Chain A
Amino acid sequence: MVSFSEIKKGLFRYEEAVGGWVATIKSAADLLKAAEKVKEAGVKKFDCFSPFPIHGLEKAMGLSRSWVPFITLIFGLSGGVIGFLLMTWIETSDWPVLHGGKPLWAWPAFIPITFELTILFGAFSTVGVTLYLGRLGKISRKPVVNSITSDGFAVWIGDSIGKDEIAKMLDGLYDEIIETPDPERS
């Protein structure tokens, strides 16, 4: 049995990579190592960027598992229940109608629609919550490095620590460290 705090922790949000430094990395393997290092260095605000999901990265970054499926479960079930109750109410009390000698509450006939509604609600809630947690929809957002969506990898460090400290931290893993413009400050 999982505690709600855990679930809450599993619903962490994306934070904008503004301010601080971005270190570009050569390969996925390096990125894993880099993430490890940054985590060990105890950096609070940091994030990794890659063109594709990398297995083990969340462990390396020390992120807790995503609890999106929990939302799916809740909405899915409620969708099914709402649908079934609605049909029951309509067919039995609001306007009872005789169909081919079937009882008014012909529950087996309600099952397909109940099922479909479960799926519908589940799926849309899942997508919705993902968009929300991933803060997707902010189309003005730019990638930290342009090549990220093609073949580049990068680590963003938001904490206020010096460039060379970062260089030390990621010794040999990065090829350059760029300062990211912070709209607030500039």
Chain B
Amino acid sequence: MSTENVYSIGKPDGEIDNDILRPVESFPTKLWWIAFALATTAMLVMWGIIGYSFKVGLGILGINNPVAWGFYIINFVFWVGIGHAGTLISAILYLFRQRWRTSINRAAEAMTIFAVMTAALFPLIHLGRPWMVFFIFPYPNERGPIWTNFKSPLLWDVFAIGTYFSVSLVFWYMGLVPDIATMRDRLTNMEPKTKLGKFLLGIKKITVRIMAIGWVGSAKTWLHYEKMVMVLAALSTPLVLSVHSIVSMDFATSVIPGWHATIFPPYFVAGAIYSGFAMVMTIMIISREVFQLKSYITMKHLENMALVILLTGMMVSFAYTIEFVVAAYSGNGVEQYVFKNRMGILDHASPYAWSFWIMFTCNVVSPHFMWFKKLRTNITVLFIISIVVNIGMWFERYVIVVTSLHRDYLPSSWDLYIPTWADYGVLIGAFGWFFFWYLLFVRALPSIAIAEVKADEAGDKLAKGFGH
């Protein structure tokens, strides 16, 4: 039974509430305010650029004829990838009864929601005529009706991302309900000093009461609730795998050398989990430092994540290798050229080889430090690697999108892709947008699933209790 005890916190339930709800119930720290200010500025910059591009057109970006997709789509794929860890943790690890998930799943799910929100932004703003976006929804209209093209991977995306976002959102919220109920009942015995405080508290009380949808922890409700969580987990598992597979089909179903690859779906999923876990780790390391949650997010948690990163990292490396093997074996000159061009081993210059080698070092080399217990239990190392991995994963998408497009079939149409200020602005702004929401989340809602932690704790006690 030692496996259970590793994660047991050994605090009374009341204590747990206090610890986890501290950030929610106390006034934000200076650190938080600074972070929030930065995030918001970046976000506003992004909206400014987007507004401008709506006004004058996408010409302000660096994309051109051969490379018609640039930073926007790269970011889209990147953020969708990030959005995978959350559901994975809350669903797959749940089904595998991995107890260590309980301390991190809430935050991870939140991260998923915001990552998908960020990702979903890009397909919209990269449209030439965003105000016409309703054309991609198949609804009965006065134009015939003319429907959408159900054979288009982009339409699959719409359904996949839509489903994924709504399901994860619901899953996440339902998970929150008991904890919100806890907040609700803690607020009743809270006394504000100032008039303003009274007013704010009033508002908070009402919102929390509404969000708690009258949860009172009845055993009958718990029973259905547990089943629901189980079912949603079971549904989310194939969903999470399908989403990135479908995103990968945007590329895999095309005819462009470097995109046209059957290995893409599993390769993308692995990559997604890889980057997702890296992102979770980054955030966890920060929040356990900032919110004194060390006893909940222990070294053991981080170590487990590190191992997942190592595993998926090797899967991704394997996928890279396969790509090259396939190209070499295909006997297709164009395909082979593209991969030589990626690596920069041509008789003439290949302008984007550097991006490939950045990706290679970050994604293939860096995870192997995790083999050593000394390193994977060292916060600094973990933090650096988790960030390096995400840089690598961003460049993976850069390699796939840009290097494949800029030199495809007809050398006559080959051209360069040179990002502009707008591209960079939106790239940074996207992070601002993501963290804007995440920072609000950690202030407003419990970032660890209280009820689940308690349940696990009780589980230990009961186990003992029944012992004698």
CB-nearest residue of chain B relative to A89? B147
Q: Would you call A126 an interface residue if the criterion is a C-beta within 8 Å of the partner chain's C-beta atoms?
A: yes
Determine which of A14, A15, A51, A102 lies in contact with B454 in the assembled complex, contact meaning CB atoms within 8 Å: A51
Q: How far is the CA of A102 from the CA of B189 in the complex (A)?
A: 67
Closest chain A CB from B45 CB (angstroms): 34
Q: Give the contact stretch, choosing among B48-56, B106-114, B207-215, B373-381.
A: B207-215
Within 8 A of A (CB), among B229-273: 230-232, 235-236, 238-239, 242, 246, 249
Q: Would you call A7 an interface residue if the criterion is a C-beta within 8 Å of the partner chain's C-beta atoms?
A: no
Determine which of A124, A138, A148 lies in contact with B214 in the assembled complex, contact meaning CB atoms within 8 Å: A138
Q: Would you call A47 an interface residue if the criterion is a C-beta within 8 Å of the partner chain's C-beta atoms?
A: yes
Q: Would you call B276 an interface residue if the criterion is a C-beta within 8 Å of the partner chain's C-beta atoms?
A: no
Residues of A within 8 A of B213 (CB): 131, 136-139
Binary interface profile of A, 88-104, with partner B (CB < 8 Å = 1, else 0)?
A: 00110011010110100
Q: How far is the CA of A135 from the CA of B224 in the complex (A)?
A: 11
Residues of A within 8 A of B144 (CB): 95
Q: How far is the CA of A54 from the CA of B460 in the complex (A)?
A: 12
Residues of A within 8 A of B12 (CB): 151
**When the two chains form their complex, are residues B151 and A106 in contact, meaning their CB atoms are under 8 A apart?**
yes
**When the two chains form their complex, are residues B217 and A66 in contact, meaning their CB atoms are under 8 A apart?**
no
Closest chain A CB from B420 CB (angstroms): 33
Residues of A within 8 A of B222 (CB): 50, 53-54, 57
**When the two chains form their complex, are residues A112 and B218 in contact, meaning their CB atoms are under 8 A apart?**
no
**When the two chains form their complex, are residues A123 and B182 in contact, meaning their CB atoms are under 8 A apart?**
no
**When the two chains form their complex, are residues B151 and A49 in contact, meaning their CB atoms are under 8 A apart?**
no
Residues of A within 8 A of B138 (CB): 86, 90
Q: How far is the CA of A90 from the CA of B171 in the complex (A)?
A: 32
Binary interface profile of B, 156-187, with partner A (CB < 8 Å = 1, else 0)?
A: 10011011001100110010011001101110
**When the two chains form their complex, are residues A58 and B155 in contact, meaning their CB atoms are under 8 A apart?**
no
Q: How far is the CA of A99 from the CA of B239 in the complex (A)?
A: 28
Q: Would you call B132 an interface residue if the criterion is a C-beta within 8 Å of the partner chain's C-beta atoms?
A: no
Q: Would you call B134 an interface residue if the criterion is a C-beta within 8 Å of the partner chain's C-beta atoms?
A: no
**When the two chains form their complex, are residues A14 and B220 in contact, meaning their CB atoms are under 8 A apart?**
yes
Q: How far is the CA of A125 from the CA of B242 in the complex (A)?
A: 20
Q: Would you call B323 an interface residue if the criterion is a C-beta within 8 Å of the partner chain's C-beta atoms?
A: no
Binary interface profile of A, 26-65, with partner B (CB < 8 Å = 1, else 0)?
A: 0111001001000000000001111111110110010101
Closest chain A CB from B452 CB (angstroms): 7
Q: How far is the CA of A60 from the CA of B163 in the complex (A)?
A: 38
Residues of A within 8 A of B212 (CB): 139
Q: Would you call B35 an interface residue if the criterion is a C-beta within 8 Å of the partner chain's C-beta atoms?
A: no
Q: Which of A17, A94, A109: most chain B CB closer than 10 A?
A: A109
Determine which of B228, B452, B461 lies in contact with A127 in the assembled complex, contact meaning CB atoms within 8 Å: B228
Determine which of B217, B232, B249 lies in contact with A143 in the assembled complex, contact meaning CB atoms within 8 Å: B217
Determine which of B150, B232, B465 lies in contact with A91 in the assembled complex, contact meaning CB atoms within 8 Å: B150
Closest chain B CB from A110 CB (angstroms): 6
Q: Which of A87, A106, A113, A117: most chain B CB closer than 10 A?
A: A113
A61 with B461, Cβ < 8 A, contacts A95-B147, A151-B14 known: no
Q: Would you call A181 an interface residue if the criterion is a C-beta within 8 Å of the partner chain's C-beta atoms?
A: no
**When the two chains form their complex, are residues A113 and B461 in contact, meaning their CB atoms are under 8 A apart?**
no
**When the two chains form their complex, are residues A14 and B231 in contact, meaning their CB atoms are under 8 A apart?**
no
Closest chain B CB from A169 CB (angstroms): 17
**When the two chains form their complex, are residues A134 and B225 in contact, meaning their CB atoms are under 8 A apart?**
yes
Q: Is the interface of B mostly helix, strand, loop or mixed?
A: helix
A residues contacting the other copy or chain, number (CB 8 A): 75
Closest chain B CB from A8 CB (angstroms): 14
**When the two chains form their complex, are residues A69 and B151 in contact, meaning their CB atoms are under 8 A apart?**
no
Within 8 A of A (CB), among B114-166: 138, 144-147, 149-151, 155-156, 159-160, 162-163, 166
Residues of A within 8 A of B458 (CB): 28, 52, 54
**When the two chains form their complex, are residues B224 and A130 in contact, meaning their CB atoms are under 8 A apart?**
yes
Residues of B within 8 A of A166 (CB): none
Q: Would you call A116 an interface residue if the criterion is a C-beta within 8 Å of the partner chain's C-beta atoms?
A: yes
Q: Would you call B289 an interface residue if the criterion is a C-beta within 8 Å of the partner chain's C-beta atoms?
A: no
**When the two chains form their complex, are residues B159 and A112 in contact, meaning their CB atoms are under 8 A apart?**
yes
Q: Would you call B307 an interface residue if the criterion is a C-beta within 8 Å of the partner chain's C-beta atoms?
A: no
Q: Which of B224, B230, B451: most chain A CB closer than 10 A?
A: B224
Determine which of A61, A65, A72, A149 lies in contact with B217 in the assembled complex, contact meaning CB atoms within 8 Å: A149
A53 with B225, Cβ < 8 A, contacts A28-B462, A139-B209, A143-B185 known: yes
**When the two chains form their complex, are residues B228 and A51 in contact, meaning their CB atoms are under 8 A apart?**
no
Residues of B within 8 A of A148 (CB): 185, 216-217
Binary interface profile of A, 8-30, with partner B (CB < 8 Å = 1, else 0)?
A: 00001111010000000001110
Determine which of B145, B188, B221, B461 lies in contact with A14 in the assembled complex, contact meaning CB atoms within 8 Å: B221
**When the two chains form their complex, are residues A68 and B227 in contact, meaning their CB atoms are under 8 A apart?**
yes
Closest chain A CB from B231 CB (angstroms): 5
Determine which of A55, A130, A139, A146 lies in contact with B174 in the assembled complex, contact meaning CB atoms within 8 Å: A130
Q: Would you call B4 an interface residue if the criterion is a C-beta within 8 Å of the partner chain's C-beta atoms?
A: no
Determine which of A99, A133, A142, A143 lies in contact with B224 in the assembled complex, contact meaning CB atoms within 8 Å: A133
Interface contacts beyond A127-B174, A130-B224, A139-B210: sample of 18 additional A-B pairs, CB < 8 Å, sorted by A: A14-B220, A14-B221, A17-B218, A52-B451, A76-B235, A95-B145, A100-B151, A112-B160, A119-B163, A123-B170, A130-B225, A134-B221, A136-B213, A140-B214, A143-B181, A149-B185, A149-B215, A149-B217
Q: B residues near A, CB below 8 A?
A: 12-14, 17, 138, 144-147, 149-151, 155-156, 159-160, 162-163, 166-167, 170-171, 174, 177-178, 181-182, 184-186, 188-189, 209-210, 212-228, 230-232, 235-236, 238-239, 242, 246, 249, 450-452, 454-455, 458-459, 461-462, 465
A-B contact pairs, 27 of them (CB 8 A): A14-B221, A17-B218, A47-B218, A47-B219, A51-B450, A52-B458, A55-B459, A58-B223, A95-B144, A95-B146, A99-B151, A100-B151, A112-B159, A112-B249, A113-B156, A116-B163, A119-B238, A120-B163, A122-B231, A124-B167, A127-B232, A129-B224, A130-B174, A136-B214, A138-B213, A141-B216, A143-B217
